[in-house]
A and B are shown apart, each in its own frame.
Chain A
Amino acid sequence: NSGVISLLKPLLLDVVPTIQQTAALALGKLANYNDDLAEAVVKGDILPQLVCSLSEQNRFYKKAAAFVLRGVGKHSPQLAQAIVHCGALEMLVICLEDFDPGVKEAASWALGYIARHNSELSQAVVDAGAVPLLVLCIQEPEIALKRIAASTLSDISKHSPELAQTVVDAGAIAHLAQMILNPDAKLKRQVLSALSQIAKHSVDLAELVVEAEIFPVVLTCLKDSDEYVKKNGATLIREIAKHTPELSQLIVNAGGVAAVTDCIGSCRGTVRLPGIMTLGYVAAHSENLSMAVIVSKGIPPLCACLIEEHEDHIKAAAAWALGQVGRHTPEHAHAVAVANVLPTLLAMYMDTRSSEDLQMKASIFTKKALKNILQKCTHLPALEPLLHDAPPNILKHIVGQFSKVLPHDSKARRLFVTTGGLKKVQEIKAEPGSLLQEYINTINNCYPEEIVR
């Protein structure tokens, strides 16, 4: 602020190399700290000076220069665009070809931060020819370099399918798949996130990732002691499962559902979210798959999530997943109802009905889940408690189910009367001619007149 940058600028051109390096380091730290300072660095025309003589300099200078570029590029897309404009990308790619692993690490970190913002910048990074060099960096023995290169590849491929295809064409998947076995936790995080960003775009990419033989190795990642490794592993499985039923089938056959349910049971908080969504996606494809989810004891963890978690989006996801599991046939709905989760769903729906946007989404999910499950549910003891508190739009489904089942089942009829359900039904006020009234009439017709009165 006190003109420091204009003082440091001439030092960059000093004769003594150590002074150049220290000046560059100082600029890097300034830019790293705050985005106003980064803007000042860009405005002070420092980047072209840094970049112009980079190829002949020694490795310390290259490291410091890459540090400056990283610090500037991480704050916003405009600053990163400024970096691209002054031709720094070619210089960073030249740094990537250097022998010293520290230089490569700094360069790939800078490229990662630039590519993170949006897809044009990622495209610019790819056009500068960085991807094959990054794939080479991944194969180097130093762990820090591998980590950073993996995170850069993940940032590049997350924006669009074409970019992910470019990364795949450079042969990245095989190396990333090998590195899943590495014991270092941070490396595993980055590798799993890179694979999931690649797999999320299309079926072909997901199939390519699966062909790299990641199952069942990925399941061991779900048992890792590091939370984010578990989260990223579950994300990878989710991205693969969501495309087609065949891929979900593959995951189920490899025992993935059991691993994911254990993972959900053992974590707390947002780490659970991808696991929940995986179960939902698997169950959504077909009834056999949702039966497989039920058989692998998938429902109790989902119910636990619904009850324990405080965040709305996790609860909404759990409700959605339960809806997907239970909506196919009466057996599925029975399995869901037996877990005693319908009252919780109803309470959640009523709870969050009158609040803002995020809770609106949660309530939409719960409502859909409830509707879908109730339309197939024939397990009457589970439906009974819902009669008492449900709002009218849910109530008509419940009463509809009763009216479908009661005419045929005499034991259920007796039970219905003894538990006071019939009385409750009488108390419901419905407009004549509406669906609700028809259902009530059907129920009343099952019983002799005296009881009804």
Chain B
Amino acid sequence: RYLNKMVIFIQKWWRGYRSRRYFRKTVETAYFIMKMNFYNEMAVRIQKRWRGYYVRKYIHNYYALKKYLEAISVNNEIVRNELQEYAEMKENKEKRRDLEKKEKEKEYQARKMHYLLSTKQIAGIYNSPFRKSPDPMEALLRKSKPLCHRRQQTTSPFASEFYDWPTCRRPPTFSTVQPLPPIGRQKPQGPFRDTAEVLRQRYKPLEPTLRVAATINSPLEKAREEMKREEWRNRIHDNEFLPFSSYHKNRKYDPSIHTSGKYGQETYGTKHFREVQPKKWVAGKDFQTVLPSIVLFEKFGKTYSRTGQIV
């Protein structure tokens, strides 16, 4: 009995110890959870404030929206003004066009009715003596020159269809046949010639003689004159422009047989032409060739610079 009591005592102490440990753990976890909840709630409060601020500032920015709408209305005003100006400009153009048309009409009428102009003796209808000043139509009549009758416009049978198309100016032409003599006509009584012959003679095409066809001045002189004029016209340089003057000169020089010897060219014919005896010279100088200078030949190769010559 004493042992049971002891055992119960130990077990009691052990159970107390276990449960105190357990209790301490639960208290700690409960405390921990409480703390976490508190922190969570505080975090939620902060996040709430932040989300509201962010949305108001960036996503649903009220003031930006207001400014945007104001900007839209300002822009709309500008656009409306511009469009209004454009419409007015177009209207003005239309009005001006109509006015010009009317003016043209009036002028045309004035030209047609030019005969209504008043003379010194007789006052015209627009210049009645009872008026203080003549009608503006009178001024128009005075300014305009009289209209001559226009030739009747030939209307082709295809006027409507083909003239609709913008580029077809001429309707397709029928092939022209020679006009046939009228058929079935009674021969006129009397010494008349045959109608066909008469028509042929009447409508014979002109065949001018050569003298008539050519001009009064002889063609030879005319052609010469023409050539002179052309040269006078076209000559800008006296030297005709040749691309590179020595470019095409690629002929090799064939020396003549007479002067070619064994050791090259003999100089007779180029460097000297006859025997030279200086002791017999009178003035101490050799004959010198004096040729009349041809200006053109002297200038050959020298008037312009040497650039462009292919060496």
Contacts and interface: CB of A to CB of B under 8 A. Distances in A.
Interface of A: 16-18, 21, 25, 59-60, 63, 100-102, 105-106, 142, 144-145, 216, 219-220, 222-225, 252-255, 257-259, 262, 288, 291-292, 295-296
B300 interface: no
A255 B94 contact: no
Contact of A100 (B73, B161, B167, B172): B167
B65 A60 contact: no
A295 B86 contact: no
B87 interface: yes
A216 B75 CA distance: 12
Interface in B56-83: 65, 68-69, 72-73, 75-80, 83
B90 interface: yes
A101 B69 contact: no
Given A18-B172, A258-B76, A258-B80, A223 B69 contact: no
Interface in B170-184: 172-175
Closest 6 CB pairs of A and B: A255-B79, A258-B76, A102-B165, A223-B87, A223-B83, A18-B172
Contacts of A223: 83-84, 86-87, 90
B46 interface: no
Contacts of A222: 83
Contact of A101 (B78, B80, B167): B167
B235 to A, nearest CB: 43
B69 A292 contact: yes
B90 A258 contact: no
B172 A102 contact: no
Contact of A291 (B65, B78, B165): B65
B168 interface: yes
Nearest to A222: B83
Secondary structure class of chain A's binding surface, majority of residues = helix
B166 interface: yes
26 contacts: A16-B175, A17-B172, A60-B172, A100-B167, A100-B168, A101-B167, A102-B166, A102-B167, A106-B165, A142-B167, A144-B166, A216-B79, A219-B79, A220-B83, A220-B86, A223-B83, A223-B87, A225-B87, A225-B90, A254-B79, A259-B83, A262-B80, A291-B69, A295-B69, A296-B73, A296-B76
B82 to A, nearest CB: 8
Given A220-B86, A255-B76, 11 more contacts: A17-B172, A18-B172, A59-B168, A60-B168, A102-B165, A102-B168, A144-B166, A225-B87, A258-B77, A292-B69, A295-B73
A225 B94 contact: yes
The contact size tier of chain B is 20 to 34
Contacts of B84: 223
A59 B69 CA distance: 60
Nearest to A292: B72
B94 to A, nearest CB: 7
Contact of B75 (A21, A255, A262): A255
Given A60-B168, A101-B166, A225-B90, A219 B76 contact: no
B65 A288 contact: yes
A60 B173 CA distance: 11
A17 B75 CA distance: 63
A408 B80 CA distance: 43
A262 B83 contact: yes
Contacts of B73: 295-296
B158 to A, nearest CB: 9
Contacts of A59: 168
B166 A142 contact: yes
A253 B83 CA distance: 16
A252 B166 CA distance: 42
Nearest to A142: B166
Contacts of A105: 165-166
Contact of B79 (A16, A101, A259): A259
B93 to A, nearest CB: 9
Contact of B72 (A60, A100, A252, A259): A252
Contacts of B162: 60
Contacts of B168: 59-60, 63, 100, 102
A254 B71 CA distance: 11
B73 to A, nearest CB: 5
Interface in B81-114: 83-84, 86-87, 90-91, 94
A11 to B, nearest CB: 14
Nearest to A258: B76
A14 B108 CA distance: 49
A25 B166 contact: no
A393 to B, nearest CB: 34
B69 A18 contact: no
Contacts of A253: 72, 75
A258 B79 contact: yes
Contacts of A296: 72-73, 76
Contacts of A100: 167-168
Contacts of A292: 68-69, 72
B175 to A, nearest CB: 8
A182 to B, nearest CB: 14
Most buried by A among B72, B80, B166: B72
Nearest to B85: A223
Contacts of A291: 65, 69
A231 B43 CA distance: 59
A258 B69 CA distance: 13
Given A63-B165, A101-B167, A21 B72 contact: no
Contacts of A257: 72, 76
A433 B87 CA distance: 62
A222 B15 CA distance: 95
A102 B168 CA distance: 7
Given A223-B83, A253-B75, A255-B76, A288 B167 contact: no
